Amino acid sequence: MLDTSVRGVLDRINDATADTRLRVVVAAPGGYGKTAFLSEITNTAVRVVDDAHLLDDATLRELAAEPLLAVAYRPWPRRAVLAELTRGAVVVPLAPFTREQVRDLLHAPKPVVDFVHAQTGGVPALVERLGAATEVSPEVLSTFRGELDWLDPDLHKFLLAAEAGAAQRLDLLSALLDKDFDEVSDIIEAARATGMLAEDGTLLPLAHRAVGALARAERRIAVRQKLAQLQMDRGGPVLELVRPLLDTGIGGPVFAAAAREALSSDPALAARLFHASTGGGTPSAETAASWATASAMAGDLDAALRLADQVISSSDTPQRRTAAEVAAVALAHRGQLARSTELFRWAATPYAAAFAGIGLIGTGHLFEETPPQPPTMLGGAASLMLQGVRQSVVGAETAALSTLVRASSMLEPAGGAVLLPDSPAALAALVAVHCGEPNMAESVLDRAVETGTGGVLMSVRHRLLQAWLQMSRGNLAVARETLMSVRGAFEPRDWIFAVALEVGVARRNSDLATLRRTWEQACEAVLRHPVDLFSLLPLGEFAAAAARLRDQERLAPHLAQASALLKSLGNPPLWAAQFHWSLLHSAIIDENTAVAEEHAAALGEFRERSRYCSILSAAAECWLDVVAGKVDPDRVEAAARSLHAVGLWWDASRLAGQAAIRTSDRQAMVRLLDCARLLQGRPVSARRAAEAVAVDVVEDAGKLSDREREVARLVVEGMTYRQVGDRLFISAKTVEHHMARMRQRLGSTSRSDLLAQLRHILGA
C-alpha cells in the first residue's frame, strides 16, 4: 500500500549500517499508518520510537544520541524538544488512501469502494474499521468509544460542535469554549491530530456518526442549545442546529426562530418547532399567529383555525389581522367562501382586501374597488387575480384568462411559500374550462404542479382540476388514475370536486352501480359546500347524475341557489353558459323536453358573446333535434367537431353516437359512428388503426432530433422539466420549449396525447 517515495525511505533505513547516521520522521494524525510503517523496519540497529509526542522532554533529549532513529508522532501537541530532535531528518509523507488504494486493500466493487472512501476520507485506520461494508453498523461506531472517552473536555466539546455543523465558525466556537481565537485554533489542531477531521476542518462522515451516536445525550443537547442561542443572538440561521433537538422536551425562543426559518420550505416542520418553542405552555399571540400560518400551509386546517381563533379572541394585538387572514384561508378551503370573505374584510390588510374582493364576486356580489397592493409577488398576483375574476363576470372572457395566467406566472417563483385561499392557476383553469380553452388550462395546471404553487394546500386542487380536464376529454381511465393518486382526507372544496369526478366517470362509463353507490356522498358534499361561483362545475355534473338516478328533488334547492347567484352577477356568459349546458344534459337525460328547450334558449342568448357560447348554443339546438329524431349528419358532425375543438371530447362523441343510433339512414349511421369513434380517440377499425400507428411511428420517429429524444425519454419516465434540465445541463425553460416544439410538430392535442405519441416513437 506504500507509494514509491515512502518505500524508498523504508529501503534506505533498512539498508543502513551501524556507522550510518540517519533519522526518519513520520508525523501524521492518528490512524494514518505511522505504527504500520514502523513495523516494516527490519533493521535491528534502528531505534524505533512510536507516539513520541507522549514522551517527556528528558526522554526525548536522550534519544538525540541515537545514530539510527525512526520517530513517529502526531503533529499535536507541538513540542520544542521534539522539533529539535527531528531537525534535518528524512520526512515520511503519509497521506489518506486514494480510491484506487482503497480498492486494492478491500478487493471490493466500485460502489463499495466509493461508499467506504466517502465515509472515511481514505484514513487507513478508518478504512480498516469499516471494511468492505455498504452501511455503517453500531459495532463499527462503538470502536470509537475508547478514543472519545479519553479526549480533553474542550476537545470533546469541539467535536460536538463540529457534529452540529459549527466546525468552521470560530466566533461561535470562541464563545462556546470561552477561549480566544488562538486557543480555539490550538483545539482545532488537536482535533486534526486525532485523524477524525477532513481537510476543510469538518468531521469525516464516519467520525460524525460516531460522535453523534456515542456522546452523552445531555452534553450533545447542551452544546447544540448553546450554539443555537449564540447563532440567534448574531442573527444567523439556527434551523440545522435546532432540528435534532425536536422531541427532546426542551423549548424556548430559539425554536421559534428555527420555525420561522423553516416556514417557507417545510411548514409541517415549522409547526412542530413552534409547538416545541412553547414548552407545553400557552403560546404568545405572535407565536400562535405564526404557528397557525405554518399549520395552514402544512394542510392542518383544524390546528390553524384553533390557533387563529385564540389570537382573534385575545386583546387587540397586531397579530389579530394575521390570524384573521389564516382563518379566512382555511375557511375558503373548507368551502365557506362567504365567511372567509367576512374575515378577509375584517383583517383589512392589502392582500386580504384583494382576496375579499374575489370572495365577494364568488358569492354573487360585484366588487368595484381595486385596493392597492404592495409591490411584491403576492401583492401583484393578488391584484391580478381580483382583476381577472372581475373581468370574467363583466364579459371580458379573453382578458380574464390572460390576466389570471399572468397572475399564475408571477407567483410561480414563490412555489409553496405563500398561503392562498385559491391559486391563480386554479382560477385560470376554471375560467379556461368555462370558455373552451382546455389546452391553456392544462398548461397552467402543469406548471403549477411542477412549481408547487400554493404548497400542500393547493396541490390537491390542482391535481383534481387536471383530472377534470381528462374526464371532459373522455380519458376516463386517466381521470380516475389521477383522482386515485390524490386520495385522502379532502377538505370540503376539494371533496366536492373529487366526488363529482367519481360521479362523472361512473356516468360516462354507464356504471350505474358505482353511480348509485357514490350518489349519497355527492349529496353530502353539496350540503357541506355552500354554492359559489367556483363550484358550478361539480354542481352541473351532479345535476346530470341526479337526472340519471331520478333524484332531482334533493339537488333542486342548490341548483336554484346557483341560478340566483348567476342572476345576481348579471348572468355572466362565461360562467352561465357551462352551467346551462350541464342542465341541458340533465333535462335530456330526464326526457324533459320543455326544460331542455329553456336551457337551449338561454344558451342562444349568449350565442354572440363568444366563440365558445356560439358552439354550445349550436350544439344544444342540434341535441334537441337529435332527441326529436331529426338527424342531419352534416350538422351533427359539425357540432360534434366544434365541441371537440373546445375540449368537450366526450360530449362531442356522445352527440355523434346518439345521432347515429337515432337515424334510419344506414350510410349516415356508419358515418356518424365513425365520427364518434374518432372524436373519442378510437380508431374506425382495428386494421386501419394498426396501419395508422405503424405509419405514424415510422414517420414521427424521424421527426425528433437527438436532443429532443433525450428530453422526451426523461419526460416520459416521469421527470419534471426542472429535473430534466438538471440531468441534461439545460434550463427548465429550454425543456419546456423542446416539449412545445414536439407537441406542435406531432400535432398533439394535449399533454397526455403528446406523451402517448412519444412512448410510441421511443418504443419504435
- Using DSSP bridges, classify how beta strands 68-73 and 22-27 pair: parallel, antiparallel or unpaired: parallel
244 vs 263: CA distance, rounded Å: 17
Residue 66, CA distances (Å) to 42, 45, 61, 90, 394 in order: 17, 10, 10, 15, 102
List, for the chain, all residue ranges whose pLDDT scores fall below the cut of 70. 1, 367-371, 373, 681-703, 726-729, 764
Please choose, from the candidates 613, 554, 551, 555, the residue with its C-alpha nearest in 3D space to the C-alpha of residue 580.
613
Residue 58, CA distances (Å) to 62, 83, 203, 504, 596 in order: 6, 14, 35, 94, 111
Predicted local distance difference test score (pLDDT) of residue 422: 95
Here the cell at position 447 is: 406548471
**Contact between 30 and 3 (Cβ < 8 Å):** no
**Contact between 439 and 426 (Cβ < 8 Å):** no
Please choose, from the candidates 564, 565, 544, 566, the residue with its C-alpha nearest in 3D space to the C-alpha of residue 555.
544
Here the cell at position 475 is: 380519458
Residue 400, CA distances (Å) to 89, 429, 440, 608 in order: 83, 11, 13, 18
**Phi and psi at residue 197, to the nearest 5°:** -105, 145
664 vs 389: CA distance, rounded Å: 47
Predicted local distance difference test score (pLDDT) of residue 695: 39
Q: What is the largest CA-CA distance in the chain?
A: 124
Here the cell at position 72 is: 513517529
124 vs 36: CA distance, rounded Å: 10
Here the cell at position 724 is: 430534466
User: Collapsing DSSP states into helix, strand and coil, what is residue 527?
Assistant: helix
291's torsion region: left (phi>0), alpha (psi -120 to 50) or beta? alpha
Predicted local distance difference test score (pLDDT) of residue 692: 40
Predicted local distance difference test score (pLDDT) of residue 368: 65
Here the cell at position 320 is: 389579530
Number of C-beta neighbours around residue 489 at 10 A: 7
Predicted local distance difference test score (pLDDT) of residue 2: 74
**Contact between 259 and 274 (Cβ < 8 Å):** yes
Here the cell at position 182 is: 488562538
Predicted local distance difference test score (pLDDT) of residue 701: 46
- CA triple 694-699-702, angle to 5 deg: 130
Helices (H) and strands (E) in the chain, counts: 43, 4
Predicted local distance difference test score (pLDDT) of residue 676: 86
**DSSP, res 73:** E
DSSP3 helix / strand / coil % (the chain, rounded to 5) = 70, 0, 30
- CA triple 328-334-340, angle to 5 deg: 25
Whether the ω angle into residue 424 lies within 30 degrees of 0, i.e. cis, is no
Predicted local distance difference test score (pLDDT) of residue 79: 86
Please choose, from the candidates 52, 33, 30, the residue with its C-alpha nearest in 3D space to the C-alpha of residue 151.
30
Structure confidence by residue, pLDDT tens digits, 18-72: 788 899 999 999 999 999 999 999 988 899 999 999 999 999 998 888 889 999 9
694 vs 761: CA distance, rounded Å: 10
**Contact between 59 and 71 (Cβ < 8 Å):** no
Please choose, from the candidates 697, 741, 682, the residue with its C-alpha nearest in 3D space to the C-alpha of residue 715.
741
**Contact between 449 and 462 (Cβ < 8 Å):** yes
Predicted local distance difference test score (pLDDT) of residue 370: 65
301 vs 107: CA distance, rounded Å: 56
Predicted local distance difference test score (pLDDT) of residue 681: 67
User: Collapsing DSSP states into helix, strand and coil, what is residue 172?
Assistant: helix
One-letter amino acid at 729 equals: F
- CA triple 467-468-473, angle to 5 deg: 100
Please choose, from the candidates 532, 528, 529, 461, the residue with its C-alpha nearest in 3D space to the C-alpha of residue 501.
461
Exposure b/e, 110-142, CB count within 10 A at least 16 = b: eebbebbbebbbbbbbbbebbeeeeebeeebbe
Please choose, from the candidates 587, 662, 669, the residue with its C-alpha nearest in 3D space to the C-alpha of residue 630.
662
Number of C-beta neighbours around residue 394 at 10 A: 15
